[in-house]
């Protein structure tokens, strides 16, 4: 029993606790004996009394005075999802004859209850009018709930077992008609920040591309402009409830938030709902985990995931930490939470050692390259700008280059030979993105440190994107953070075949860039000239002569 029980007599508390012994028939919304007892107790204690009933008619919880709030044990035992109801109904008495409040309707939709209702109590302590509401399956009118008309309690004609069976069937049928491609998970995207709506929409568009890259179908988007963000839930509890209700009603499996949640916010939201709620960082980490193929890449991704997870572990209870032996050091032992944290720290230590070995191997490879005097040209740029496609076309490689964000993760190096036996190494690195998670920056720093050996950085930009300045600035910030400003950098606009020639010319003139299409070799000469000049400058004592180029068909390719 929970709620406002302060001031009640022991006999009254005992009478209320005896409600747990009551049973309701499967075909009844609320048994007549239970209704009479609740009405008499309500008049006696002058406080509303509510019961949470299972479909078997068992009283799961009794709540006195306060609004509906399921205990963690009940919420864990009776879980709700976008394709099912929770299997609980809540009926509450009230001293005044009033219809269901908006808060009650919100609780019905948010908690996915079978039914919610209020029972008025007469001045004689007998059941009065019964007000009921239930969830509606997804419909064209976008209605969440159906509020039934008030009826005297003794005239309630609803056969609950048949009613709930038909309602569940309608919910399942409605869900089956929702189109989710290839059985992928569906998600609701949310952005909450002080930025303007236009910028938030751009960020949500990028988040939608990230979701598509992870195999998630986006079914709706929510934009909320806040001053500084809610400290506990980021959105505020009311707005978060609204988002979760929409998520359940539209059949989404998760909510993806564009902003990075703090550990405290992650725990607070997890306590509030059964729906999976992830942030932008978790989504990017999941994509990286899918795309890592080499052992080095897998170690880097796992290390980043563990560093992200460690401060977000949460547990229950107030048990003492793991204690050593000896007088004054004995205790109940370490909790499950502390065991998990210790194991994660141990795993992080092992992965860091393994990453150090990979770093030493990279150093040895770089020493061999310097010994042979091979110039290095590194491709950098925003994710999905076409770096891997350009590498494939220049060197005849077969690196995966699908049109989605973070398609390639592992660093790839290939050797390209120019005429007069001049060779260079072209390196393709992981793509960048704005607000790159710090866990990834820290973990992949050893990999990105390899850019220091480059003689030239080719900054590849998708010429067709609407936010070119943002993407250029995001890459420039990461390059600056890595202290790579001293390396010559050339801006290359890719995918220029998708734009009018006049627009390409204006873009190249404005940004002092080279315009190409990785799929059209006749646009490469200006780029190849820059690469060859960089290779010539890196060879001591070399005298530059007339520039020559090699076609795709005649390139002599040596894989590194």
* Neighbour-count burial for 355-391, b at 16+ CB within 10 Å, e otherwise: beebeeebeeeeeebeeeebbbbbbbbbbbbbbbbbb
Report phi then psi at 6, rounded to 5. Answer: -65, 135
DSSP letter for each residue of 7-30: T--HHHHHHHHGGGG-B--TT-SS
Per-residue pLDDT tens digits of the chain, which is 560 residues long: 888 889 899 999 999 999 999 999 999 999 999 999 999 999 999 999 999 999 999 999 999 988 788 887 888 888 876 667 889 999 999 998 889 988 898 888 888 899 999 999 999 999 999 999 998 887 777 788 899 989 999 999 899 999 999 998 888 777 665 545 445 788 999 988 877 888 888 889 999 999 998 888 888 898 887 776 567 788 877 888 888 888 887 878 889 999 888 888 888 888 788 788 889 988 988 888 888 777 877 888 888 888 888 888 765 443 334 444 444 444 455 567 778 888 888 998 998 888 888 877 777 776 776 676 778 888 999 988 889 899 888 888 888 778 888 887 777 888 877 766 578 888 888 888 888 777 777 766 666 766 777 888 999 999 988 889 999 999 998 888 888 888 888 999 999 999 999 999 999 999 999 999 999 989 988 988 888 877 666 554 444 443 333 333 333 332 22
Rounded to whole angstroms, how far apart are CA atoms 81 and 84?
5
Token duo for residue 305 = 């995931």
Rounded to whole angstroms, how far apart are CA atoms 12 and 93?
16
Distance of CA 168 to the CA centre of its chain: 29
Which has the closest alpha carbon to 129: 99, 151, 96? Answer: 151
Annotate 54-65 with three-state secondary structure.
Answer: ECCCEEEEEEEC
Token duo for residue 379 = 């491709």
Q: Which residue has the tokens 């996915």?
A: 112
Show Cβ contacts of residue 279 under 8 Å, excluding neighbours closer than 6 positions.
Answer: 256, 257, 258, 259, 260, 261, 266
Which has the closest alpha carbon to 96: 18, 164, 174, 150? Answer: 150
**188, 243 Cβ separation under 8 angstroms:** yes
């Amino acid at each position: 029993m929970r709620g406002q029980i302060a001031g009640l007599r022991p006999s009254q508390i005992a009478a209320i606790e005896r409600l747990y012994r009551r049973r309701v028939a499967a075909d009844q919304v609320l048994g007549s004996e239970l209704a009479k007892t609740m009405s008499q107790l309500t008049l006696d204690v002058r406080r509303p009394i509510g019961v949470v009933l299972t479909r078997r008619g068992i009283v799961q919880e009794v709540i006195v005075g306060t609004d509906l709030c399921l205990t963690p044990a009940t919420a864990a035992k009776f879980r709700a999802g976008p394709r099912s109801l929770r299997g609980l109904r809540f009926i509450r008495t009230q001293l005044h004859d009033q219809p269901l409040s908006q808060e009650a309707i919100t609780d019905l939709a948010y908690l996915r209850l079978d039914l919610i209702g209020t029972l008025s109590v007469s001045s004689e302590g007998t059941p009065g009018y019964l007000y009921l509401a239930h969830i509606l399956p997804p419909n064209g009118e976008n209605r969440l709930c159906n509020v039934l008309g008030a009826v005297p309690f003794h005239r309630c004609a609803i056969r609950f077992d048949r009613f709930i069976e038909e309602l569940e069937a309608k919910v399942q049928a409605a869900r089956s008609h929702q189109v989710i491609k290839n059985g992928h998970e569906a998600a609701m995207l949310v952005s909450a920040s002080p930025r303007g709506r236009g910028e938030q929409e751009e960020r949500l568009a990028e988040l939608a591309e990230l979701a598509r890259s992870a195999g998630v179908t986006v079914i709706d988007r929510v934009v909320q402009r806040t001053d500084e963000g809610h400290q506990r839930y980021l959105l505020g509890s009311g707005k978060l409830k609204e988002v979760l209700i929409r998520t359940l009603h539209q059949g989404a499996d998760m909510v993806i938030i564009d902003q990075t949640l703090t550990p405290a916010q992650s725990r607070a939201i997890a306590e509030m709902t059964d729906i999976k709620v992830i942030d932008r960082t978790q989504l990017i980490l999941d994509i990286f985990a899918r795309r890592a193929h080499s052992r080095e890449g897998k170690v880097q991704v796992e290390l980043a995931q563990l560093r992200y997870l460690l401060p977000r572990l949460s547990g229950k209870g107030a048990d003492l930490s793991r204690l050593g032996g000896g007088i004054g050091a004995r205790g109940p032992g370490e909790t499950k939470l502390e065991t998990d944290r210790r194991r994660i720290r141990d795993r992080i230590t092992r992965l860091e050692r393994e990453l150090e070995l990979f770093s030493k191997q990279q150093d040895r490879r770089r020493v061999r390259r310097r010994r042979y005097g091979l110039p290095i040209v590194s491709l950098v740029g925003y994710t999905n700008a076409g770096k891997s496609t350009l590498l494939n076309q220049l060197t005849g490689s077969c690196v995966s280059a699908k049109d989605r964000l973070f398609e390639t993760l592992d660093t790839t190096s290939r050797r390209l030979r120019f005429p007069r036996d001049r060779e260079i190494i072209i390196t393709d690195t992981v793509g960048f993105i704005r607000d790159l998670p710090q866990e990834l920056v820290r973990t992949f720093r050893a990999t990105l440190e390899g850019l220091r050996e480059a003689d030239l950085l080719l900054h590849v930009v998708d010429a067709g994107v609407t936010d070119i300045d943002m993407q250029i600035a995001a890459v420039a910030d990461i390059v600056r953070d890595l202290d790579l400003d001293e390396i010559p950098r050339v801006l290359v606009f890719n995918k220029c075949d998708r734009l009018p020639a006049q627009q390409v010319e204006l873009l190249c003139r404005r940004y002092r860039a080279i315009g190409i299409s990785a799929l059209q070799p006749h646009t490469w000469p200006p780029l190849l000239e820059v690469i060859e000049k960089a290779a010539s400058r890196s060879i001591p004592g070399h005298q530059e002569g007339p520039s020559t180029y090699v076609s795709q068909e005649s390139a002599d390719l040596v894989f590194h």
